[in-house]
Chain A
Amino acid sequence: MEPRTRLERQARPESMLLNMGPSHPAMHGTIRIMLELDAEKILNAEVEVGYLHRGFEKTCENRSYFNLLIYTDRLNYVSPLINNLGYCMTMEKMLGVAAPERAQLIRVLMSELSRVSDHLTCLAAMAMESGAFTAFLYMMKAREYLWDVVEFTTGARMTTSYIRIGGVRSDLHPGWRGALSKAVGETRKVLKDVSGLLDKNAIFLGRTRGVGTISKEDALSYGWTGPCLRSTGIAYDVRKAHPYLVYDRLAFDVPVGEFGDNYDRYRVRMREMEQSLRILEQVAALLPEAPPLAAGPAIEPEEAIRRSRAERAREPIRLSPNLEGSEKERLAGLSCQFPPVAVPAKEDAYTTMEGLIGHFLFFMAGKGIRPPKGDVYFSVEGGNGELGFYIVSDGSDKPYRLHLRAPCLHIVSALEQLIKGRLIADVIPTFGSMNMIGGELDR
């Protein structure tokens, strides 16, 4: 077959061509690197992506603003809540809406939990692919504790779609302080163990120190952001450069590496996890206890409907808390009430005519959330870098165009340059330290 790719055209006849293909344990299943080899040395490499292209942007053009939240979870599926946050804050910027204070604190709490689990998964995979299987098991254990906190509150371990436009879906679950302090404690213990295992480990240092080095200029020229850019020494962090939510009130510093090689990327992520744990503790201190709910047992919806048919409900009723939008008295602190961009309170929807109409209007096709015409770009600090959403709206309830600025695409585009001239074994830690996430890269 005639050579189609640039690599095959330029390949010398005597060199060996090899696929480090999509279905490879270290390629996270979605990247194919075509290598031109002379024994173990890589003469030329070509990276092919797109194996996890799921048509996210086309699908979003056919979904309403409220419904496409579930697609944002599955972009960077290692830190899903940060994608939710990015999308929702872009929408809030377009709608000119701001989340209330408590919702902002909960958002910071959730996105920092996601960031730590993102770095844990990335370093676990990088360590396992370089042979340190124990570090993988330790970090997965720590991630379970973090996911417990997320699961108790949002109901799902990973694909939560908990952060909504205008605020959050519901309040933190009652025992969240205990679960959070246990998770933070366990994660700190694991971080100490893993840094003990890997930091001065001759094999790990041999494979990562001085491997996959990138200069500051090249990193900027490739559009690198996030931990990979900070490993080269440039302290650009969206939380500090353009503070959003309550990050300007929190004390945390931005760890920076010196040479921009694999080891620095590993160290920057480890230190960044400690900073995130620090943030978690500060937010836990800032977050007041949720106001106690009104007295009286929580009644089921059909009971509320039956009562409201008899006569208009006078005293405030309380619905069972598993319904979205219930716990009406707490909604004021959780999502912006005016203009109504969140799901209307269930207590109204079941017992009053206006509430029922409001509920239908929110979910009806063509009604719902309809931002003004125009385009907007907003970005948050994702697990891999600057996660930006560019939304063009034409006034209808579906986005005309929704584009994600994927930090992974820029980081992986430098992979060819980083591995040229090195040995095959260097591809694995270099690619592992980039934390390529297929969902975000190929969208």
Chain B
Amino acid sequence: MLELAIAFLVFGLLSGVMVLVNFVLGPRRPNPAREKPFECGSPPLQTGIGPVNIPFFLVALLFLLLDVEIVFFFPLALAFRGRGLGGFAALAGFVAVLAAGFAYAWKKGIFRWS
């Protein structure tokens, strides 16, 4: 339990210092041109963001889903350490469910843009 507390303390301190250093040392010189979007240097053709298209949204959703799955791998791997094949089977089941969802999305043509 102790090393967990130390870990949180160190990481919290480190990120705090980094944010603080950035806040202290970063010069502030507001410049109106910096508010405009960067479009390779030429004046933007359109102000504001137009309507967002559905395909972007679907891919973002799918990414979120699978990314969270990967984050779950770490605690699962720790929890099932040393449980041998049983542990691996449990993990495989978890992955299989999500893989089935991914295959279904792929077949439904989430990645076909035209």
A-side residues, CB < 8 A to B, are 8, 14-24, 27, 32, 34, 38-41, 423
Contact = CB atoms under 8 A, between A and B. Distances in A.
Contact of B42 (A8, A21, A41): A21
Contact of B46 (A17, A23, A27): A17
Contacts of B35: none
A397 to B, nearest CB: 41
Interface in B52-90: 53, 55-56
B109 to A, nearest CB: 14
B45 A18 contact: yes
B50 interface: yes
Contact of B45 (A17, A22, A24): A17
Given A34-B45, A423-B113, A19 B53 contact: no
A24 B44 CA distance: 14
Nearest to B50: A16
Interface string B102-114: 0000000000011
Contact of A8 (B41, B45, B51): B45
Nearest to A422: B114
B50 A32 contact: no
A41 B112 CA distance: 11
A23 B51 contact: no
B50 A14 contact: yes
Interface of B: 39-42, 44-46, 50-51, 53, 55-56, 113-114
B70 to A, nearest CB: 22
5 contacts: A18-B39, A19-B44, A22-B41, A39-B53, A39-B56
Nearest to A20: B40
Q: Nearest 6 A-B pairs (CB), nearest first?
A: A21-B40, A39-B53, A17-B45, A23-B41, A21-B42, A19-B39
A19 B40 CA distance: 7
A442 B48 CA distance: 33
B42 A22 contact: yes
Nearest to B49: A16
B45 A32 contact: no
Contacts of B114: 41, 423
Contacts of A14: 50-51
Given A14-B50, A19-B39, A32-B40, 20 more contacts: A8-B45, A14-B51, A15-B50, A18-B39, A18-B46, A19-B40, A19-B42, A19-B44, A20-B40, A21-B40, A21-B41, A22-B42, A23-B41, A27-B40, A38-B53, A39-B55, A39-B56, A39-B113, A40-B55, A423-B113
Contacts of A22: 40-42
A434 to B, nearest CB: 18
B113 A40 contact: yes
A192 B58 CA distance: 42
A207 to B, nearest CB: 14
B113 A41 contact: yes
Contacts of B42: 19, 21-22, 32
A427 to B, nearest CB: 13
Q: Which of A15, A19, A23, A27 lies at the interface centre, i.e. has the most chain B CB atoms within 10 A of its CB? A: A19
A21 B113 contact: no
Contacts of B46: 16-18
Nearest to A36: B45
Contacts of A34: 45
Contacts of A17: 45-46
A193 B45 CA distance: 43
Contacts of A19: 39-40, 42, 44-45
Nearest to A1: B43
Nearest to A39: B53
Contacts of B45: 8, 17-19, 34
B91 to A, nearest CB: 30
Nearest to B51: A14
Nearest to B53: A39
Most buried by A among B40, B51, B56: B40
A423 B55 CA distance: 13
A15 B52 CA distance: 10
B65 to A, nearest CB: 20
A197 to B, nearest CB: 26
